[in-house]
């Protein structure tokens, strides 16, 4: 057996053994899939990688790393055409749940969300940027969309820079019972750690959850990304493990690291976490937001 093959075998064996020893199933709450297929065309003007990120490739990675279920997030390549993701959910209903996108500049977005929820989607994602193009997060179309999301009892997930967190907080003030998930630690820069307080301020809303993904993206160091782990430590102290969740952000992670490293950094290399913390962050927190069938 070659050295590469040996390492792969050992890694897969350890992952399976770890899962078998745990009393929970590992669930990945943030993954993207896409495929070059004329039946499901990409949105005009999108810079789509030549490679595919198929559900079948993902299922292989999940199997080899002991990940049981995954939440698929509508990739920006399709913009607001959720048909490929809907197709995938129908193919693998017991393995995946889906989070859709709707156009935040469309007054009909609340109705579109209702329709997509009826199709089986369990949440919606918004991604306002930090510049003028993202100012819609403060506009008049947001309260109706957020209210509809709350009425439908599906999670609102927000990908936004940390500077947008005060604006997100204003929307939550009117809907404190709504479930809100902040993606990727609001991408707080590791060299501006004081900015994380804008995200931590959301802890006053009991249904706000935070994905501690993007340790690999934010870090300026090699694995295990100790500088960005400092952000996770502060979020852990503020929110507790019951409101934090890991995620791979596959296949985006592959520009920097491997799928398995997004798991091992939490499971094996965040030394400040105990076994109960990990059971929440790798599984039980996610099941609170996206419960899967047995």
pLDDT, tens digit (0-9, with 9 covering 90-100), for 132-160: 999 999 999 999 999 999 999 999 999 99
* Residue 261, domain member (yes or no): yes
Range of the domain at 179: 3-289
Long-range pairs for 137-144: beta carbons < 8 A, 24 or more residues apart: 137/104, 137/164, 137/167, 137/168, 137/171, 138/167, 138/170, 141/104, 141/105, 141/106, 141/107, 141/109, 142/104, 142/171, 143/171, 143/174, 144/107, 144/109, 144/110
* Residue 132, domain member (yes or no): yes
In this predicted model, what pLDDT tens digit does every residue of 167-191 receive, in sequence order? 999 999 999 999 999 999 999 999 9
What pLDDT is attached to residue 227? 98
Helix (H) or strand (E) holding 250: none
* Residue 37, domain member (yes or no): yes
What pLDDT is attached to residue 16? 47
In this predicted model, what pLDDT tens digit does every residue of 36-91 receive, in sequence order? 999 999 999 999 999 999 999 999 999 999 999 999 999 999 999 999 999 999 99
What pLDDT is attached to residue 8? 45
In this predicted model, what pLDDT tens digit does every residue of 18-36 receive, in sequence order? 444 568 999 999 999 999 9
Say what the pTM is.
0.92
In this predicted model, what pLDDT tens digit does every residue of 80-128 receive, in sequence order? 999 999 999 999 999 999 999 999 999 999 999 999 999 999 999 999 9
What residues are paired with 157 via a beta bridge? 125, 181
In this predicted model, what pLDDT tens digit does every residue of 192-241 receive, in sequence order? 999 999 999 999 999 999 999 999 999 999 999 999 999 999 999 999 99
* Residue 53, domain member (yes or no): yes
* Residue 196, domain member (yes or no): yes
Peptide bond into 251 cis (omega under 30): yes
Total number of domains constituting the chain: 1
Q: CA geometry: angle at 108 spanning 103 and 110, to 5°?
A: 80
What pLDDT is attached to residue 3? 45
What pLDDT is attached to residue 294? 82
* Residue 294, domain member (yes or no): no
* Residue 253, domain member (yes or no): yes
Specify the CATH number for the domain of residue 245.
3.20.20.140
Contacts of 75 (CB under 8 A, 6+ apart): 32, 33, 34, 53, 85
* Angle between the N-to-C axes of helices 55-65 and 3-21, in degrees from 0 to 180, rounded to the nearest 10: 80
What pLDDT is attached to residue 22? 65
* Residue 89, domain member (yes or no): yes
In this predicted model, what pLDDT tens digit does every residue of 258-279 receive, in sequence order? 999 999 999 999 999 999 999 9
Query: Is pLDDT above 60 for 7?
Result: no
């Amino acid at each position: 057996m070659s050295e590469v093959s040996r390492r792969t075998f050992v890694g897969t064996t350890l992952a399976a053994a770890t899962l078998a020893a745990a009393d929970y199933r590992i669930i990945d709450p943030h993954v993207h899939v896409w495929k070059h297929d004329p039946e499901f065309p990409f949105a005009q003007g999108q810079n789509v990688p030549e490679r595919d990120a198929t559900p079948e490739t993902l299922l292989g990675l999940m199997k080899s790393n002991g990940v049981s279920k995954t939440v698929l997030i509508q990739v920006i390549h399709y913009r607001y055409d959720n048909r490929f993701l809907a197709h995938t959910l129908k193919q693998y209903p017991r393995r995946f749940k889906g989070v859709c996108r709707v156009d935040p500049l469309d007054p009909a977005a609340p109705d579109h969300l209702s329709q997509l929820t009826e199709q089986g989607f369990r949440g919606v994602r918004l991604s306002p940027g930090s510049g003028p193009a993202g100012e819609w997060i403060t506009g008049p179309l947001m309260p109706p969309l957020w209210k509809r999301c709350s009425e439908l009892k599906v999670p609102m997930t927000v990908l936004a820079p940390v500077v947008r967190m005060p604006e997100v907080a204003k929307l939550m003030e009117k809907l404190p019972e709504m479930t809100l998930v902040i993606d990727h630690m609001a991408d707080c820069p590791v060299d501006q750690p004081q900015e994380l307080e804008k995200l931590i301020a959301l802890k006053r809303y009991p249904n706000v959850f935070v994905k501690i993904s993007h340790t690999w993206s934010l870090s300026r160091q090699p694995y295990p990304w100790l500088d960005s782990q400092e952000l996770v430590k502060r979020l852990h102290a503020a929110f507790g493990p019951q409101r934090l969740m890991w995620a791979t952000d596959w296949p985006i992670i592959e520009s920097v690291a491997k799928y398995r490293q997004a798991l091992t950094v939490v499971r094996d290399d965040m030394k400040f976490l105990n076994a109960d913390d990990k059971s929440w962050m790798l599984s039980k927190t996610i099941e609170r937001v996206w419960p899967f069938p047995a």
